[in-house]
Amino acid sequence: MRPLRIGCAVLLVALVLAMAAPHVYEATASDRVIVALGDSLTVGLGVAPDEAWPALLEARLQRTASPYRVVNAGVSGDTSAGGAARLDWVLRNKPEIVIVALGANDGLRGQPISALRANLTAIVERLKARKVKVLLAGMRLPPNYGAAYTGDFVAVFADVARRTGVPLVPFLLDGVAANARLNLADGIHPNAAGHRIIAERVWPHLRPLLAGSR
């Protein structure tokens, strides 16, 4: 029975990895790809796929006949370490731009700030080495995590953006967090209206990267 148990365990790991892998977009010669690399806030937990902020950005681009397509590479529960581990999948999409929206789960789990900084830096530097433009999205934590930790957590995103020379969305959930009308019943994940605001807030930071691509 031992070989069977090992085989089942291997199969389970393979299935989990397959579920975590982002969709590989089959781009045509005229398509230009933007990848949104994130967690449940990106994947759109609790809303329809076309209501999540990456899909709303693509809809906005399509209304202007833009050649860009946006791939939603959000995975619920993902951390900065998980995002770093998924970069091979992300790069298979041949992106011109990657929006990095990770870190919320690191903070909620109380993971070391040094690890978050190292992971985000590694993600950005690897993408830049492949000539991919990067937009980093910042995150904040509820005050009950303690002033010292939450302060250091917030500062990481600006620090990484400054050190790597990439633009920053200061707070992905700006205007959405803690607003009951813009979140699901869990008070954490945005509803459809919340995602619309996120897309509006991300757009001004994304637009200059579109103008400067290729």
Per-residue pLDDT in tens (0 to 9) along the chain, 214 residues: 333 333 333 333 333 333 444 444 445 556 899 999 999 999 999 999 999 999 999 999 999 989 999 999 999 999 999 999 999 999 999 999 999 999 999 999 999 999 999 999 999 999 999 999 999 999 999 988 899 999 999 999 999 999 999 999 999 999 999 999 999 999 999 999 999 999 999 999 999 999 755 5
CA distance 88 to 20: 12
Which CATH number characterizes residue 207's domain?
A: 3.40.50.1110
Tokens describing residue 45 = 């937990």
Report the 10 Å Cβ neighbour count for 181: 8
**Single pTM value for the model:** 0.87
CA distance 174 to 172: 6
CA distance 56 to 52: 6
CA distance 59 to 120: 28
Domain count, the chain: 1
At 130, give phi and psi (nearest 5°).
-95, 15
Q: Helix 192-211 to helix 53-63 angle, to the nearest 10 degrees? A: 50
Contacts with 63 (C-beta within 8 Å, 6 or more apart), sequence order: none
CA distance 2 to 25: 39
Domain range spanning residue 169? 2-211
The residues annotated with a catalytic role in the active site are 40, 186, 189
